[in-house]
Chains A and B, each alone.
Chain A
Amino acid sequence: MKISGPQIFWIMFVMETGMTLLLTMQPAIQEAKQDAWISAIIAGLAAIIMTIVAVRLSMLYPKQTLVQFSQTILGKWFGKMIVLPYFIVWVSVTGMILRQSSDFVLIALFHKTPIWILCLILILLVVYLTHQGIEGIARCAEMFGPICVITIVTLYSLDMPNTEWHHLLPIYAHSGWLQILKGSLAPMGFLGESVMITMLYSFMNEMGKRPSWVYWGVTAASFFLVIDAFVVIMTFGPNLASRMWYPAYEVVRFISMMEFIQNIDALVVIVWILSIFLKLALYLFISSYGAAQWLNLKDWKKPIWVIATVAFVFSILPQNIVVSTIEYPKKIWTPFVVPITFVGIPLFLLVVGVVRKRISKRTGQSAN
């Protein structure tokens, strides 16, 4: 299984765009008011730094995945222990994304359908895609990516007549650095999911091994987030936007071009579903593949059904939308997942790995 450079670009872009645009704008505006676009820039920069660490780490052992090189770096037992948090995160977030996406589809389109049906159909489709392996996922990303870009750009251009730039003013006066930083936490948590590159890097072909493809993917997603912040604030102002569940969705619902092009909110659902679908498949793939490597299974496809079932159960557990869409990102993702699995462990592995390589090089040289 090999993936190319452009494919990894689209994977990163599509995976990050949908959820980040729809779900992170409200918490960012709530903290940073009309300066949420600065928060978005900071979040984008932070995500790129996280990605650089993750890519550098993967480049130490370019033929191994996170599950393998953690054992190479730290030894068998400690290496296996340190990736355990990743499995917990991957499986739980698969369930949570499943729920969040179904919540949104329920609100946007199907008011009467039971939520578990939406979750079940989506997870079955995702299982099907994951069975094709990373190549299938990558081809999907190549197809979805341009669709997402065109749709988002079109929708934002159609919203231009509704915008008023002076909603962005005054800059900085209503927030302050602390609030701008706080506002960047939510988008940072979503954009930082690019650290899953540690599991994908070993699949990349020679062209793809150039890390700039990955960085551009994250940069493109961050760029769209900044534009999203501008559009949302200029359409609704910070007060209204901070009280909406899905400000970006409301922007599209508000579009009315010459009383003719209107009621086009279903387009948002398309971008949303494509992005979610790809993200779920990626998480399911890396957790199944990782689990197979962790347990020394020969067939990596075997854990798919187990993990899918666990994720499905996890997705129907939350009682309401507040748990899935607000509390999980705020109380689990931002304070624990981001610092530990996105920053802490990769950084630790990188430092230890670099030091070990230097030592082995030196001893190697002296042996010669």
Chain B
Amino acid sequence: MKTQLLILFVTFFCLLTATGCWDRQELTDIAIESGIGVDLAEDGKYQVTLQLIDPSKLGAGQNGGGKKEKPFIVVTATGKTILDAIHHIQPKLSREAFSGQGRSIVIGEEIARHGLKQIMDEFTRNPDVRLRTDIFVVRGGKAIDVLKSDYPYERVPMYAALKIHQAISVHAGETLRDFYMAATDEGSSPITSSFVLRPMAPTEGETQQGKTAQFAGDAIFNKELKLVGYLNLEESSKRKWIVGGMGRLDVTASIPNHTGSVTFTMMHVKRKIRPIVQGNSVKMNITLIGIGSIRENNTDLDLTDAKNIAIVESALEQEVSKKTLAVVNRVQKEYGTDIFGFSEAIDRKYPYKWKFLMKNWKHTFSEVQVNVSSKMTIRQSGLTGPPMQIPESEIGK
């Protein structure tokens, strides 16, 4: 009897307290953040902009008919920290802003140049926020403009930016982690992606209307986490190739002595980095490896001939090596920020020498002698051998 009473008591106690009602958040009480933008406000404060999803309007699209309402709202406020600004946003919102649903972080260019050291804490300390988050800089613009912009395919425009990024890079979700990893490393400098706001198909006279966010290569930061410059699309794919983690990649090269170009699509992309340290001088031997197939051939070459395949391969190799070396050299000269993982490669092979090199790495990095060699292997050449659009006599042998 006594134990039965006890069990009854415990059961009721648990019923009352353990239901989780304390922390309940109804879906109709929260506003799910799809994106958070940070801009520099006047007097050193931060302007934080949230793009919030309205789920009830997301579903309504299927009924069709009439002009659809936007399924998102954009709110902004300023504050001394990011959370301070969000607390200033809250008075404008009927629902509590909820950041746990994979929002993207958008950084305005001005604040990126000013430095990110002060604003990067919130994204790891807040238990709601996940490290698997996309982060990008708005090239030549403000974060709020990107968050306000519409996108024709996706009902929630921030998902468009995320999906574009995912389509371009296999590891888009790891950008934030990689940013922190490079920032905490002694030698490396972090990068983020950058997006630019411009019309999809620009025509004369069309201006503000119809601008969408487009991927525009990487944004380079220095060790003070200040934005120093950008890589364009092609350059950032070469950088990605050097640091590893490329999925597929296209290279287009013109063939010497034959007019026209060849586009080569690689399905297997690899690289090897071999540092050689002698005293204070550092050499970096980079080997880029690509295996794939020819997808477009504008030249007159007959690709059923092994000799011609070899010609194309060597042209591709030259193109890749030259372009990649140019990217590394430009970054070395203009920015002096190690965004290629060179310091980590040295640390892995020469850990004791690295401890000395580390002290003067910013200077040493610019002096590193870089050799790029590449090995392209063509496995297939599509469905045609010689080009079909030219007569037999013009086919180059």
Residues of A with Cβ closer than 8 Å to B?
107-113, 117, 120-121, 124, 128, 162, 166, 169-170, 173-174, 236-237, 239-240, 243, 250, 253-254, 256, 259, 262-263
* B352, closest chain A residue (CB): A173
Knowing that A128-B10, A174-B351, A259-B166 touch, tell me 11 more A-B residue pairs with CB under 8 angstroms. Answer: A108-B127, A109-B23, A110-B23, A111-B127, A113-B22, A169-B347, A169-B348, A239-B181, A253-B130, A256-B132, A263-B130
Q: Does B184 contact A (CB under 8 A)?
A: yes
Is B153 an interface position by the 8 A CB rule?
Answer: no
Q: Total A-B pairs in contact (CB under 8 Å)?
A: 62
Q: Does B201 contact A (CB under 8 A)?
A: no
Residue of A nearest to B351 (CB): A173
- With a cutoff of 8 Å between Cβ atoms, the chain B residues found around residue A162 in the complex are 174
> With A and B bound together, what is the CA distance between A121 and B18 in angstroms?
8
- Number of residues on chain B facing chain A (CB within 8 A): 26
Residues of B within 8 A of A110 (CB): 20, 22-23
Tell me which residues across on chain A come within 8 A of B166, comparing CB atoms: 259
- Taking CB atoms, residues of chain A closer than 8 Å to B173 are 256, 259
Q: Which of B23, B127, B130, B177 contacts A236 (CB 8 A)?
A: B177
Q: Is the CB of A253 within 8 A of B131?
A: yes
Decide if B181 touches A236 in the complex (CB within 8 Å).
Answer: yes
In the complex, the answer to whether B20 meets A240 with C-beta atoms within 8 Å is no
Chain B residue numbers with a CB within 8 Å of A239 are 181, 184-185
Q: Within the assembled complex, what's the spacing in Å between the Cα atoms of A39 and B116?
A: 35
- The distance from the CB of A171 to the nearest CB of chain B, in whole angstroms, is 9
Please tell me if B94 contacts chain A, counting CB pairs below 8 Å: no
Q: Is the CB of B20 within 8 A of A170?
A: no
The one of B13, B130, B132, B177 that contacts A124, using a Cβ cutoff of 8 Å? B13
Question: Which of chain B's residues have a CB closer than 8 A to the CB of A170?
Answer: 347-349, 351
B14 within 8 Å of A (CB atoms) = yes
Cβ–Cβ contact A254 & B130, under 8 A: yes
Smallest beta-carbon distance B61→chain A, Å:
22
CB closest chain-B residue, reference A161: B171
A253 lies within 8 A of B132 (CB) = yes
Q: What are the residues of chain A within 8 A of B18 when measuring CB–CB? A: 121
B residues less than 8 Å from A259 (CB atoms): 166, 173
**What residues of B have a CB within 8 angstroms of the CB of A174 in the complex?**
351
Is A117 in contact with B23, judged by CB distance below 8 angstroms? no
Interfacial chain A residues near B181, Cβ < 8 Å: 236-237, 239-240
Chain A minimum-CB-distance residue to B101: A263
Interface string of B160-182 (1 = CB under 8 A from A): 00000010000001100100110
CB distance from B199 to the nearest CB of A (A): 29
A-B CB proximity, top 4 nearest? A173-B351, A239-B184, A170-B351, A169-B348
In the bound complex, what is the Cα–Cα distance between A239 and B10 (angstroms)?
Answer: 45
Q: In chain B, what residue has the closest Cβ to A244?
A: B124
Q: Which of A107, A240, A262 contacts B177 (CB 8 A)?
A: A240
User: In the docked arrangement, what's the CA distance between A295 and B363, Å?
Assistant: 72
Contact residues in B for A240 (Cβ distance below 8 Å): 177, 180-181, 184
Q: Which residues of A contact B22 (CB under 8 A)?
A: 110, 112-113, 117
Q: Which residue of B is nearest A120, CB measured?
A: B17
Closest beta carbon of chain B to A199's beta carbon, Å: 25
**Contact sample, A vs B, 28 pairs, CB 8 Å cutoff:** A109-B23, A110-B20, A110-B22, A111-B23, A111-B127, A112-B23, A117-B17, A120-B17, A121-B14, A124-B13, A124-B14, A162-B174, A166-B344, A169-B347, A169-B348, A170-B349, A173-B351, A173-B352, A237-B181, A239-B185, A240-B177, A240-B180, A253-B130, A253-B131, A254-B132, A256-B173, A259-B166, A263-B130
Separation of A47 and B229 alpha carbons in the complex (Å): 53
- Cα distance, A263 to B133, chains bound together (Å): 12
B133 to chain A, nearest CB (A): 10
In residues 8-26 of chain B, which contact A (Cβ within 8 Å)? 10, 13-14, 17-18, 20, 22-23
A256 to B132, CA, bound (A): 8
Min CB gap B40→A, angstroms: 26
Select from chain A the residue with minimum beta-carbon distance to B20.
Answer: A110
Closest chain B residue, CB of each to CB of A107: B127
Measured CB to CB, the closest approach of chain A to B112, in angstroms, equals 21
CB of A69 to closest CB in B, whole Å: 33
- Which residues in window 177-205 of B have CB below 8 A to A? 177, 180-181, 184-185
For residue B351, which residues in chain A have a CB less than 8 angstroms away from its CB? Answer: 170, 173-174
- Closest chain-A Cβ to B13's Cβ sits at a distance in Å of 7
A250 vs chain B, min Cβ distance (A): 6
Residues of B within 8 A of A254 (CB): 130-132, 177
Instruction: Report the Cα distance A141→B220, complex, angstroms.
Output: 52
Q: In the assembled complex, which residues on chain B have CB atoms less than 8 Å from the CB atom of A166? A: 344, 348
- In the complex, A129→B185 CA distance in Å? 48
A250 engages B14 (CB within 8 Å): no
CB–CB B180/A121 < 8 A: no
How far, in angstroms, from A112 to B127 measured CA to CA in the complex? 13
B347: chain A residues at CB < 8 Å are: 169-170
Residues of chain A contacted by B349 (CB below 8 angstroms): 170
Which A-chain residue is minimally distant from B166 (CB atoms)?
A259
Question: Which residues of B sit under 8 angstroms from A128, Cβ to Cβ?
Answer: 10
Complex CA–CA separation, A254 to B344 (angstroms): 23
Provide the bound-state CA to CA distance between A240 and B349, in Å: 21
| Complex: chain A residue closest to B9, CB-CB | A124
CA distance A169 to B352 in the complex (A): 12
Smallest Cβ distance from A229 to chain B, in angstroms? Answer: 18
How close is B119's CB to chain A, nearest CB, in angstroms?
17
Question: How far, in angstroms, from A109 to B23 measured CA to CA in the complex?
Answer: 8
- Cβ of A263: which chain B residues have Cβ within 8 Å of it? 130
- In the complex, chain B residues whose CB is within 8 Å of the CB of A237: 181, 184-185
Q: How far is the CB of A169 from chain B (nearest CB, A)?
A: 4
Q: Which A-chain residue is minimally distant from B180 (CB atoms)?
A: A240
Check if A121 sits within 8 Å of B132, measured CB to CB.
no
The A-contacting residues of B in range 129-165, CB under 8 angstroms, are 130-132
| Bound Cα distance from A174 to B348, whole angstroms | 10
A124 to B16, CA, bound (A): 14
- Which residues of A sit under 8 angstroms from B180, Cβ to Cβ? 240
User: Shortest beta-carbon distance, A118 to chain B, in Å?
Assistant: 9
By the criterion CB–CB under 8 Å, are A124 and B10 in contact? yes
Q: Which residues of B contact A121 (CB under 8 A)?
A: 13-14, 17-18
Q: In the assembled complex, which residues on chain A have CB atoms less than 8 Å from the CB atom of B348?
A: 166, 169-170
A237 to B344, CA, bound (A): 11
Chain A residues near B14 (CB, 8 Å)? 121, 124
User: Closest approach, in angstroms, between the C-beta of A14 and any C-beta of chain B?
Assistant: 22
Within the complex, the shortest CB–CB distance from A1 to chain B, in Å, comes to 18
Distance A112 CA – B128 CA, assembled complex (angstroms)? 13
A239 to B166, CA, bound (A): 26
| A169–B345 CA distance with the chains assembled, in angstroms | 10
Tell me the bound Cα distance from A162 to B131 in angstroms. Answer: 12
B240: shortest Cβ distance to chain A, in Å?
14
